[in-house]
Amino acid sequence: MLGLNKKDTTILIVVAVLTMAAPFILNPFPTNSSLAQFNAGYPDLMQRFVIYGIFAIGFNILFGLTGYLSFGHAAFLGIGSYSAVWMFKLLSFNVIPAIALSIVVAGLFSVVIGYISLRRSGIYFSILTLAFAQMSFNLAYSVLSNPKFNLTNGETGLQVYGSDPQYLKGSGPDVTHIFGLEMRATETLKLGGWSFDFNVGYYLCALILLVSFYISVRIFRSPFGMMLRAVKSNQQRMNYTGLNSRPYTLAAFVISGMYAGLAGGLLAAMDPLAGAERMQWTASGEVVLMTILGGAGTLIGPVLGAGFIKYFENIFSKINDNVLHTWFAALPDGMEDFLITIVHPFVGKGWHLTLGLMFMAVVIFLPGGLVQGGQKIGRLFRRRGANAPGPEGEAARKQPAE
Amino acid sequence: MGLLEIKNVGKRFGGLKALDNVNLSVAENTVHAIIGPNGAGKSTLLNCLIGKLIPDTGSVMFDGQSVLGRKPHEINQMGISRVFQTPEIFGDLTVFENVMIPIFAKRDGAFALHALRRVLSDRDIVERTEMMLADVNMLDKRDAHAASLSRGDKRRLEMAMCLSQQPKLLLLDEPTAGMARADTNNTIDLLKEIKHKRDITMCIIEHDMHVVFSLAERITVLAQGTPLVEDSPDNIKGHPKVREAYLGEAQV
């Protein structure tokens, strides 16, 4: 289907079902239950899941296929956001031109940064991209925001004011919209104790994620994708085989930069504000974590990793001592205090600690990321089937590792 | 005028003269062996031919064009392929993909952005890959990861990758090093068959005299960076200077 083989079609359908049914899947607990804490089906959180999913899918095209580890991809995310907000300021709150411009501008920047950074490989490449991203951050934070020439609005962040021209606005709404349909519009479905939110912005992002994912699958299975894997495997052989690895890596860099720009544009489309902190090196590090945690070089891994990290960031960070007290209230006082003392550093503001430990565990035990974990479990089940004779067992034994 | 003309090539590494005034001509459609003791400069010479090293002096002409100053991929596109001393293959990719890549490179040039085409829908490439794998008896291993192959198979795969490009000149750097006698003989047969089937010029560096004398039509003996003699295999065997420099130790 759609030029994909059976296995890839299955993966695409899985992603489609997951994204389309996300409002249900992420809200498994009734609103009033004590576990409602773990619900993640809020519009803004779901939007972030898919937007960072797009960011990670793009990053994976560069890092997963060619092995070039960029530490500066947040720069493109930020550039995408700034471009989108400028479109809102100049044209109107329609998100289509904003998203289009964010992809184009991020693409142009990545041509320049990629052309220079890709002259080196390995750690030197990573450092060069990091340097570029930090320069971009500082430009956005201070240099490009002075009274004479205010491109980024510095610390405050770029936003839309009533005095902005918005030449094409006409009678359009005062919030971001797609041809009149407001991004923030949400339909709430109440079902018994449960409530599910269906948000326009989320579904727009989810559809774009599906298209981005489909394109990335096609790239993975194309001759171009094969050449990118050849770069990772043996660049020397590639050059002695008559292939110029430089344009291949540059193309991968620009494609992933455009994905990052798209993600940045979508962030601004959901909330028309662009700040310099979006370009900081921690943001670049985050996408690296997402990709590795999910499984670099796999199709679905980056999406999983992005969802995982964003979930932790937003849900675990909200568990404070009060919440812990209600959880352990049934226990005797001494025990309750003891447990809270132990759990305390890992939740709330300490969620980074939990994430760090988990990241270490994944990297040490599952170097292929969460996807490898899933495959291991799958194989465990299949091995049981494989003990049975017949063609099914035979097929299970032959299943190659990804 | 040979296919490959090396004139007055010299290369120094610090105080070491690796190549000193090398003159060599490889005629079209011949198998030319370069032999010599360790450190004679054989590999350095080969590296100068594929753009890995740039000689300090002299000129290297291939098919009427200079190769000096060109990038490795440009030299390959001119029609020179090389088999390395330790097989250089794409370890993470399958055997089939390993052979497809050079065929793509030959057909589409140094860069082609086919990002939305499917690899296996290209019948022309797939058929040529299958034919090449059949030629080297590796069709049954087509889906194996190249890194998991045995050393002998890796060499055969690398040779298939080079031959699939139908190069004008094939450079072989010790193609049988580390092989058992049976595998060595298989490789000799394979190379003879290739030579028989198509017009190809080969330049072989080899230590194993059995291989050299079964294949070569012309032999150059290199010692301390300079060609000692160049002659037919029969004359080389009895040449006193060669015995003294090289063959004497090998007891051929």
CA distance B170 to chain A (A): 12
Residue B223 has pLDDT above 90, yes or no: no
Judged by CB atoms closer than 8 Å, whether chains meet at B77 and A242 is answered as yes
Judged by CB atoms closer than 8 Å, whether chains meet at A243 and B97 is answered as no
Judged by CB atoms closer than 8 Å, whether chains meet at A243 and B100 is answered as no
Residue of B nearest to A236 (CA): B88
CA distance B126 to chain A (A): 12
CA distance A246 to chain B (A): 9
Which run of H or E residues covers position A330? none
CA distance A282 to chain B (A): 31
What pLDDT does residue A260 have?
97
Give the rounded percent of residues in chain B with a pLDDT score beyond 90.
53
pLDDT tens-digit readout, B21-63: 899 999 999 999 998 888 888 889 999 998 889 999 999 999 9
In chain B the domains, ranked by start, together with CATH numbers, are 1-79+167-252 (3.40.50.300), 94-165 (no CATH)
* Chain A residues whose beta carbon lies within 8 Å of the beta carbon of residue B166: none
Interface of A with B (CB under 8 A): 3, 215, 218-219, 221-227, 229-230, 232-234, 236-245, 247-248, 251, 255, 400
Judged by CB atoms closer than 8 Å, whether chains meet at A236 and B104 is answered as no
* Chain B residues whose beta carbon lies within 8 Å of the beta carbon of residue A240: 50, 72-73, 76, 81-82, 88
Determine the Cα–Cα distance for residues A132 and B18; give it in Å rounded to an integer.
42
Question: Is B43 at the interface with chain A, CB within 8 A?
Answer: no
Determine the Cα–Cα distance for residues B206 and B36; give it in Å rounded to an integer.
8
What pLDDT does residue A271 have?
94
What pLDDT does residue B175 have?
86
Question: Is B142 at the interface with chain A, CB within 8 A?
Answer: no
* Chain B residues whose beta carbon lies within 8 Å of the beta carbon of residue A220: none
Q: What is the mean pLDDT of each successive set of 10 residues along chain A, which is 402 residues long?
A: 87 95 92 84 93 97 96 96 95 95 97 96 95 94 86 90 88 88 91 90 96 96 96 94 96 97 97 92 93 93 93 85 82 86 85 88 90 91 66 43 40
Judged by CB atoms closer than 8 Å, whether chains meet at B115 and A225 is answered as yes
More confident residue, A324 or B202: B202
Give which of A84, A77, A79 is closest to A58, Cα–Cα.
Answer: A77
Hey, what CATH topology would domain A6-281 get? Answer: ABC transporter involved in vitamin B12 uptake, BtuC (1.10.3470)
Judged by CB atoms closer than 8 Å, whether chains meet at B119 and A237 is answered as no
What pLDDT does residue A388 have?
52
Judged by CB atoms closer than 8 Å, whether chains meet at B116 and A218 is answered as yes
Taking the CA atoms of residue A73, residue A75, residue A81 and residue A83 in that order, the dihedral angle to the nearest 10 degrees is -120
* Chain A residues whose beta carbon lies within 8 Å of the beta carbon of residue B47: none
What pLDDT does residue A385 have?
64
What pLDDT does residue A393 have?
42
Beta strand pairing call for B31-35 and B16-26: unpaired
ipTM: 0.90
Judged by CB atoms closer than 8 Å, whether chains meet at A242 and B76 is answered as yes
What pLDDT does residue B171 have?
94
Judged by CB atoms closer than 8 Å, whether chains meet at B92 and A233 is answered as yes
- Split at pLDDT 50, 70, 90, the class of B230 is confident
Instruction: Give the single-character DSSP code of A59.
Output: H
* Chain A residues whose beta carbon lies within 8 Å of the beta carbon of residue B105: 241-243
Of A237, A247, A251, the CB nearest to B89: A237
Of B77, B88, B117, the CB nearest to A222: B117
Q: Which of residues 74-133 of B touch A (CB under 8 A)?
A: 76-77, 81-82, 88-93, 97, 100-102, 104-106, 108-119, 122
Q: DSSP string of A262-312?
A: HHHHHHHHHS-EE-GGGGSHHHHHHHHHHHHHH-TTSSSHHHHHHHHHHHH
Judged by CB atoms closer than 8 Å, whether chains meet at A241 and B161 is answered as yes
Residue B96 has pLDDT above 80, yes or no: yes
CA distance A231 to chain B (A): 9
